[in-house]
């Protein structure tokens, strides 16, 4: 029987407990889940792709069937190259729908054999996002319980000289 492999793509700048919650759920449904970190040269992320990969690795080390990789360009190209037919996305609130539908439908047009599968996070993470985490961290504060300990440490280090 062929293995069910899925990719969980995202910016993960940085990975949050919401992302970890989603991948924990996905890892019970799929044989293998690859967290795909988007390398977007046009954006200036807080963490480099290498740092993001390292932080994710540390955060998901309790999940043996989850691995981490980087991709640039189109997600569907990464999926084709790696023979992956399922993309996972987290759906937090109705406000996510518009963007997620746009993404899923565009990907489906480009790669009709693929499916996007949505997972709902624990209600505690419904309003949690990497953007909020970055904003709070840039002011020297911490959202305890919102990011894995290694991410909290890395954020503190990253913003130690820029806190207002
Ligand atoms: O965590 P994010 O930023 O919401 O993730 C968005 C991501 C990385 C899944 C999406 O932007 C993506 O797949 N980008 C790669 C380019 C692509 O394939 N776009 C889809 C067609 S518009």
Structure confidence by residue, pLDDT tens digits, 80-135: 999 999 999 999 988 899 999 999 999 999 999 999 999 999 999 999 999 999 99
Q: State the pTM of this model.
A: 0.96
Question: Residue 103: CB within 6 Å of ligand 1?
Answer: yes
Question: Residue 90: CB within 6 Å of ligand 1?
Answer: no
Closest Cα to atom 17 of ligand 1:
74
Question: Residue 18: CB within 6 Å of ligand 1?
Answer: no
Which tens digits make up the pLDDT trace of 14-65? 999 999 999 999 999 999 999 999 998 778 999 999 999 999 999 999 999 9
Pocket test for ligand 1, best of 34, 43, 52, 74 (most atoms within 8 A of CB): 74
Ligand 1: which atom is nearest the Cα of residue 99? 4
Which pLDDT does position 94 carry in this prediction?
87
Tokens of 105: 């439908």
For the segment 71-82, the average pLDDT, to the nearest whole number, is 97
Among 47, 41, 104, smallest CA distance to 75 is for: 104
Active site residues: 19, 43, 92, 130
Ligand 1: which atom is nearest the Cα of residue 13? 1
For the segment 65-87, the average pLDDT, to the nearest whole number, is 98
d(CA 35, CA 32): 10
- Expressed in angstroms and rounded, the spacing between residue 157 Cα and the centre of ligand 1 is 28
Phi, psi values for residue 71, rounded to 5°: -145, 155
d(CA 87, CA 7): 5
Which pLDDT does position 142 carry in this prediction?
83
- Expressed in angstroms and rounded, the spacing between residue 164 Cα and the centre of ligand 1 is 32
Closest Cα to atom 11 of ligand 1:
10
Which pLDDT does position 1 carry in this prediction?
57
- Asked whether the beta carbons of 58 and 79 are under 8 A apart, the reply is no
**Residue 88 bridge partners (DSSP):** 117
SS3 for the chain, per residue?
Answer: CCCCEEEEEECCCCCCHHHHHHHHHHHHHCCEEEEEEECCCCCCCCCCHHHHHHHHHHHCCCCCCEEEEEECCCHHHHHHHCCCCEEEEECCCHHHHHHHHHHHHHHHHHCCCCEEEEECCCHHHCCCCHHHHHHHHHCCCCCCCCCCHHHHHHHHHHHCCCCC
């Amino acid at each position: 029987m062929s293995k069910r492999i899925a990719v969980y793509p995202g910016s993960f700048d940085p990975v949050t407990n919401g992302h970890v919650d989603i991948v924990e759920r996905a890892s019970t449904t799929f044989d293998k889940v690859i967290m795909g970190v988007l390398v977007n040269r046009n954006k200036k992320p807080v963490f480099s792709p290498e740092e993001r990969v390292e932080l994710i690795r540390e955060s998901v080390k309790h999940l043996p069937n989850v691995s981490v990789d980087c991709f640039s360009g189109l997600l569907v190209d990464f999926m084709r190259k790696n023979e992956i037919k399922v993309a996972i996305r987290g759906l937090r609130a109705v406000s996510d729908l518009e963007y997620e539908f746009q993404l899923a439908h565009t990907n489906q047009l480009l790669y009709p054999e693929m499916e996007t599968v949505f997972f709902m996070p624990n209600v505690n993470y419904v309003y949690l996002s990497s953007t909020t985490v970055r904003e709070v961290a840039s002011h020297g504060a911490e959202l305890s319980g919102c990011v894995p300990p290694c991410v909290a440490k890395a954020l503190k280090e990253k913003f130690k000289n820029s806190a207002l």
